[in-house]
């Protein structure tokens, strides 16, 4: 039937995260009605990205080349290594903080039930890197979920084995948050980790 | 810099409606991490759609061929012509109602300030079609906005000029709606248009 290419377009837009039938329809109509040039560009960039973007040999972040921009840079402090779950987490830290060290991207978290063990996260390679002695502090910035915490403990052990100091991000009440609306776990942790005012 | 292709991908995803910087990032990472095959497919379908999908010669809906599936179908009632603003509106009517007539898609609404007049909506061609005498009723289903209403009045006039009966969708309290939460304009209209119970 003649609508089939449009239907295929709508269907294929649903691979995007958070995009259901209605949104995919709206996107398809929007592209065809008003953004043909942008759509053509998106198609070309998407194909090129999927073909060319691989993982950085050092930190496993996405990159077109052998090394990502941060690992290739001469101005980053290689004694500090920050371990995050995903490239999005790395980007968030990079945008929010003045961190000048380098990163290691797990591309996941330990989850034995899903078959994701240390090897899948490249922790053997991370161990070798810690062994080399250049890194002095491993900043563990996994997410504060059950699996993220388990991963953090594993990473801390790994760091100690190789004589590297593990550290982790502070947990507590978010800035601008109201105590009344902070969840219990966070509040309890913040209360227990209170520090003396100076 | 080595992140540039990824940055270009994120930027180009922003042509999609309702997609800002954060969502585009999430989409790009999702495609690269988990949906490379789907992304490749999306890229191919998108390019093909933009190249091949044009407008139906009769109803201006999107189609790959000369005529869309509905206009080409032999089983639709050509005496009824339903006029909608967009292909999405046509789809909504097609999915919700048992309508068996044909459509005319304006691909917009009268908006003189934006330079959209009768010619831009193809109303000259619609006039010719009404003139031919096959259509007996023009069902006007423009949106109940100021511009949609103006367009509806123009279409009704056009229909009468060619001896075609204009009709429009009923406005009123939506099914399942509560009077308390219905907007004033709708409630006032529904009250004024009350009908005797039989």
Residue A2 has pLDDT above 70, yes or no: no
Tens of pLDDT, residues A174-193:
888 788 888 888 888 888 88
Any B CB within 8 A of A65 CB: yes
Burial class (CB in 10 A: 0-12, 13-18, 19+), A167: middle
Inter-chain residue contact A2 with B64, CB threshold 8 Å: yes
Question: Which residues on chain B are in Cβ contact (under 8 Å) with A38?
Answer: 12, 15
User: What is the structure's pLDDT at A112?
Assistant: 85
Q: Which two three-digit tokens encode residue A143?
A: 């997410």
Contact A17 B40 (CB under 8 A): no
B46–A6: do the CB atoms touch at under 8 Å? no
Encoding tokens for residue B165? 């009966």
Q: Is the ipTM of this complex over 0.85?
A: no
Span A123-155, pLDDT tens digits: 988 999 999 989 999 999 998 888 999 999 999
Task: Please give the C-alpha separations between residue B155 and each of A36, B11, B139, B148, in angstroms, as whole numbers.
Answer: 29, 41, 10, 10
Q: What is the pLDDT of residue B91?
A: 87
Residue range A102-111: mean pLDDT, rounded? 91
Residue A65 clears pLDDT 60, i.e. is over it: yes
User: Cβ separation of A42 and B72 shorter than 8 Å?
Assistant: no
For residue B87, give how far its alpha carbon lies from the nearest alpha carbon of chain A (Å): 7
Q: With CA atoms as reference, report the closest residue to A81 among A90, A53, A64, A67.
A: A90
Residues A13-44 pLDDT 10s: 999 999 999 999 999 999 998 889 999 999 99
pLDDT band per the 50, 70, 90 thresholds, residue B19: very high
Provide φ and ψ at A68, rounded to 5°. Answer: -80, 170
- As a whole number, mean pLDDT of residues B33-39 equals 90
Set of chain A residues whose Cβ sits within 8 Å of the Cβ of B45: 5, 8-9, 12
Chain B, nearest residue to A36 by Cα: B50
pLDDT at A186: 83
B183 half-sphere exposure, CB direction, 13 A CA radius = 3
Pairing between β-strand B77-84 and β-strand B101-105 as defined by DSSP bridges: parallel
Across A92-96, A101-105, B139-143, least confident range: A92-96
Q: What is the percent of chain A where pLDDT is above 70?
A: 98
Min Cα distance B120 → chain A (Å) is: 14
Q: Count of CB atoms within 10 A of residue B119's CB?
A: 9
Please report which confidence band the pLDDT of residue B179 belongs to, taking 50, 70 and 90 as the band edges: confident
The residues near A100 (Cβ < 8 Å, ≥ 6 apart) are: A75, A76, A77, A80
Predicted local confidence at residue A91, as pLDDT: 87
Residue B1 is predicted with a pLDDT of 42
Cβ of B69 within 8 Å of Cβ of A1? The answer is yes
The closest of B138, B139, B80, B86 to B109, measured between CA atoms, is B86
Could A32 and B17 be called an inter-chain contact, meaning their C-beta atoms sit closer than 8 Å?
Answer: no
State the fold for domain A4-52: Helicase, Ruva Protein; domain 3 (1.10.8)
pLDDT at site B116 = 87
Say if residue B108's pLDDT is above 70.
yes
What's the average model confidence in pLDDT over B49-63?
91
CA distance B54 to chain A (A): 9
Report the percent of chain B where pLDDT is more than 70.
Answer: 98
- Residue B31 contacts A where some CB pair is shorter than 8 Å: yes
Q: Where are the domains of chain A?
A: 4-52, 62-168
Amino acid A92: pLDDT:
87
Whether pLDDT at B90 is above 80: yes
- The answer, yes or no, to whether residue A1 has pLDDT greater than 50, is no
pLDDT above 60 (res B3): no
Residues in B closer than 8 angstroms to A26, CB to CB, are 17-18, 88
Q: Is the pLDDT of residue B2 over 50?
A: no
Q: Could you read off the pLDDT of B118-170 as tens digits, one per residue? A: 888 889 889 999 999 899 999 999 988 889 999 999 999 999 999 999 998 88
- The answer, for B38 touching chain A at a CB cutoff of 8 Å, is yes
CA–CA separation, A25 and B40 (whole Å): 19
B39–A29 CB contact, under 8 Å: no
**Class of the domain covering B62-168:** alpha beta
Residue A97 has pLDDT above 60, yes or no: yes
Residue A113: its pLDDT value, please? 87
Closest to A148 (Cα-Cα) out of A108, A93, A104: A108
- Please name the member of B2, B15, B67 whose beta carbon is closest to the beta carbon of A72: B2
Contact call for A15 and B35, based on CB within 8 A: yes
């Amino acid at each position: 039937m003649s609508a089939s290419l449009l239907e295929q377009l709508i269907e294929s837009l649903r691979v995007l995260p958070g995009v259901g039938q209605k949104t995919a329809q709206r996107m398809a109509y929007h592209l065809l009605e008003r953004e043909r040039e942008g759509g053509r560009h998106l198609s070309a960039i998407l194909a090129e990205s999927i073909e060319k973007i691989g993982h950085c040999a050092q930190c496993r972040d996405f990159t077109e080349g052998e090394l990502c921009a941060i690992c290739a840079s001469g101005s980053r402090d290689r004694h500090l290594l920050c371990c995050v779950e995903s490239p999005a987490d790395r980007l968030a830290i990079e945008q929010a903080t003045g961190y000048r060290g380098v990163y290691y991207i797990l591309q996941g978290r330990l989850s034995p039930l899903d078959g994701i063990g240390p090897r899948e996260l490249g922790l053997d390679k991370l161990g070798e890197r810690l062994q080399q002695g250049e890194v002095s502090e491993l900043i563990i910035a996994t997410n504060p979920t059950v699996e993220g915490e388990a991963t953090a403990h594993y990473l801390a052990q790994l760091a100690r084995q190789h004589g590297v100091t593990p550290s982790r991000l502070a947990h507590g009440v978010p800035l601008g948050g109201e105590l009344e609306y902070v969840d219990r776990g966070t509040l309890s942790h913040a209360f227990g980790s209170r520090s003396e005012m100076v």
